[in-house]
Structure 1
Amino acid sequence: MARSGRAIVIGGGIGGLAAAAALHRGGWDVTVLERARSLEPVGAAISLAPNALSALDVLGVGAEIRDLAAWQGDGGLRAPGGRWLSRTSAEAAAARFGGPLVLLPRATLVDRLAALLPPGAVRTAAAASLADPGDHRRPARVSIGDDELAAELVVGADGIDSRVRGALFPAHPGPVYAGFTTWRVLIEVPGVTFASHETWGRGRIWGTHPLKDGRVYAYAAAVTPAGGRAPDDEKAELLRLFGDWHDPIPAVLAAARPEDVLRHDVHHIVTPLPAFHSGRVALLGDAAHAMPPTLGQGGNQAVEDAVVLAHHCDDLAAYTAARLPRTTAIARRAVRVARVNMAGNPAAVAVRNTLVAALSKAGPALLLRGFDDIAGWRPPYAAEEATKR
């Protein structure tokens, strides 16, 4: 494949924009085709771990994003009544992994990534499909209505229901329901201060985190049949499920309006794809390896994908070799964590809470050690790329 030329990115989410920025940085003529009428993302906030921040360093925006970290002291894991099961140290995590965990609105990250592209590179209201994946002799072709575009590289970044993935691997079973649904809110909660926390109940979890801009990001999850919806509204459903949990959860719910609450069932790819590429087409993010959000790594892995793809754009087999084993392992770990934190059996919950408390008493380093191979990732070519800045 060519090292540069025309690249078409199908999907204008975080992974697609990061890939477009990385390719543009490498000299590609990039066009992003987004089905929606704007780049306004679905979802409230995103957590960026040190591994994703290292990938953003390759794009030249890592330091800017790190400045958005909201330092609010330590946090941890709690039980619904308020008891701390474990305490985490943000300072210890930053020292171990070389940087902070940054929580910011998805819209902020989307805006920063889009700003790295030249004017006119992003086309919205452009529903695209893959007409031909191409090969070493001919370019790939993408259809947009009655028009058709040719490109030396096509990136399928069109999410969990990826049409590009379906075109490349029609026999693949695709995503399946993970067994639980999620709710998210991003709101102002005046007069409330709290430590960042996640709370695990029986088949339910809640998280509350402050952002640097003064707003609060809260999320919840519960084991429930797929496709369910509240009989009244989703705020009322959250009140039924979490209204009697510890502070500040009632205050967050009181501040939220029904229209502030987003609800989405969680789907993930159980059977790994045979490859993340075919012909001149590469897949990334949820299109390639959708995973449960229990490790907070879905968006992080998409950003990793983006910079690795740009590095291996002349050898997509090398991209698959670099990304498929890592993302498969992380996705499987996310599934295992979901089984633990979404456990509903009272005996299993009691054992879980006891083990978490015991690990916490052993010190934060022991808890952090399990994330070394995730958060400690660095682009193997970061020094080389840094010279281009």
Structure 2
Amino acid sequence: MRTAVIVGAGIGGLTAAQALRRTGWNVAVYEQAAAVAPVGAGVGVAPNAVKALDHLGLGTALREHGQRQQALEIRLRGGGRVAGIPASRFERRYGTPFYAVHRAGLHRILMDGLDAASLHTGHRATGVALGPDAATVTFQGPQGEVAVAADLVVAADGVRSALRTALLPAYPGPTYAGYTVWRGTLPAERVARLGLRPVLSETWGRGARFGMGMIDGGRLYWFACESVPEGSPLAHDLGLLADRFARWHAPIPAIMTATPEETLLRHDVHYLHERLPSFVHGRVVLLGDAAHAVTPDIGQGACLAIEDAVTLAAALENAPAGIDAGLRLYDTLRRPRTERMARASGRLGHIMQTRNPVAALARDTVASVLPDALLIGAAGAAFTWTPPLGAT
């Protein structure tokens, strides 16, 4: 049986484990955290990722546990609606609904059926060696250093991938997108008091944005973005953050006031602006953020990682000349699409986060006069993806 080592137990790594296991691979997942306990708030599952999960047999679980969205909307800080599109119009065009789910819930879906003995926590990847028909990863684990060899190594270890650095030491690494993001989650009982509907909504200001969406269990997640210099020492204080959005339209101030302090998260946003020469190096393949980290502006980070995993398993299963040919096919299929997405996300982030009043007015004006059909069509680059022939 062919063996695979997956480095990273995030969404991309766990989806890869599911996809490879379903095509006959013996899979082991190594995670540097002491436990597979995802942090974060909500994650949007767009139609392209729903199709990928359907092909893995996980779509039913997503529909049972995720929150189907009724509409997508864009507003301005004062409350004016720039766009409001019923989700049914996207469904008719792209075949499946939008869902939103807490990251922990998506993790549970992706871990279903995986052998607990195949998950190895507390293992930090420190290096990789390439052989003619295998690769060996070195980990620092609870019992010291350990080397693990496999027919295939999947580097799904995030935007600051240690394996990518080991393979491509001259690569410049992630680029700062120009803004930081806070995230929070409201429990169901507080959401019920606010009378909110399951609508994915984003509000634009100058140098700032606020977005929200209902997720599983009647909860709500939100994010708030602010354009600041990289590494700005902003206080991790929900009250101070709420003050900055206090004059935005309802229900934004009430949402922030109702947010439990302990759910607040913050990080600067980075993405991979510079192209990689390849996603494949010998028997090591880069996947998800390790290969093509995008900004949140296109809502595709997790979705692209899920696509990667389905495509990888299909390419390896259907390449007649074996593993190496399958990896070349994966690179051919994934690199052009994801490179376009990464560059587009960076450009869109600069537009969305502009502090320039003239540029912000132009952004709002253009968006407000575009017909809904054009806005729906603009999503086609992402949403029209379908699993490759032969994906399981």
The normalised TM-score by structure 2 is 0.92
SS of residue paired to 2:194: coil
Q: 1:326 aligns with which of 337, 353, 377?
A: 337
Q: Is the partner of 2:100 in helix, strand or coil?
A: strand
Contact kept? 2:311, 2:388, Cα under 8 Å: no
Deviations 1:201-228 (A, max 9, x none): 0010001212241111111101001122
C-alpha displacement of 1:192 = 0.6
Change in CA separation of 1:27 and 1:73 when aligned onto 2, cut-off 3 Å: closer
Letter in 2 for 1:356: A
CA distance in 1 between partners of 2:91 and 2:229 (Å):
38
Q: 1:203 and 2:207 equivalent?
A: yes
- More displaced stretch, 42-51 vs 277-286: 42-51
Structure 1 residues 266, 214: closer, same or farther in 2, change over 3 A? Answer: same
One-letter amino acid of the counterpart of residue 323, structure 1: R
What does residue 375 of structure 2 align with? Answer: 367
Report the CA distance shift for 1:72/1:31 in structure 2 as closer, same or farther (over 3 A). Answer: closer
2:93 aligned with 1:91, yes or no?
no
Shift of 1:72: 5.8
Q: What is aligned with 1:265?
A: 268
Q: Which residue of 2 is the match for residue 347 of structure 1? A: 358
Verify the 8 A CA contact 2:69 2:97 in the aligned structure 1.
no
Cα distance in 1 for partners of 2:64, 2:380 equals 23
Q: What whole-Å deviation, never above 9, does each CA across 1:45-103 have from its counterpart, x for those lacking one?
A: 11011111111122110132134443464341111111111112111111111111110
- 1:153 — aligned with what? 152
CA distance in 1, matches of 2:271, 2:72: 28
Q: 1:21-49: CA deviations, max 9, x gaps?
A: 11111111110000001111121111011
**8 Å CA contact retained: 1:292, 1:334:** yes
Alignment partner of 1:378 is 2:386: yes
Alignment RMSD (CA, Å): 1.5
Displacement of 1:131: 2.9
State the partner residue of 2:319.
Answer: none
Shift, 1:271, TM fit: 0.5
Deviation at 1:230, TM superposition (A): 2.9
Residues 69 and 101 of structure 1 are in contact (CA less than 8 Å); yes or no, is this contact kept in structure 2? no
Residue 135 of structure 1: CA displacement? 2.4
Which AA in structure 2 matches 1:217?
Answer: Y
> Contact 1:92–1:365 at 8 Å: present in 2 too?
no
Q: TM-score, normalised by structure 1?
A: 0.93
Asked if the contact 2:46/2:303 (under 8 Å) is kept, the reply is yes
**Unpaired runs of at least 5, structure 2:** 317-322
1:1-389 equivalent positions in 2, closer than 5 A: 5-71=2-68, 73-136=70-133, 139-145=134-140, 146-188=145-187, 189-190=190-191, 191-195=193-197, 196=199, 197-231=201-235, 233-313=236-316, 314=323, 315-359=326-370, 362=371, 364-381=372-389, 384-386=390-392
Comparing 282-291 with 115-124, greater Cα deviation is found at 115-124
Contact 1:133 1:168 (8 Å CA) reproduced: no
Tell me the alpha carbon deviations over residues 224-266 of structure 1, each in whole angstroms, 9 at most, x when there is no partner.
01122334x3312321321211111111111113322100000
Is the CA contact (8 Å cut-off) linking 1:234 and 1:263 kept in structure 2? no
- Does the 8 A contact of 2:273 with 2:346 survive in 1? no
- Matched position secondary structure for 1:377: coil
Aligned length: 375
2:66–2:99 CA contact under 8 A, matched in 1: yes
- Asked whether the 8 Å contact 1:16–1:157 carries over to 2, the reply is yes
**CA distance in 2: counterparts of 1:234 and 1:291, whole angstroms:** 27
Asked whether the equivalents of residues 69 and 98 of structure 2 are also in contact (C-alpha less than 8 Å), the reply is no
Q: Secondary structure in 2 aligned to 1:243?
A: coil
Cα deviation digits, residues 122-172 of structure 1 (max 9, x gap):
111112233302223xx2111123221110000000001101001111111
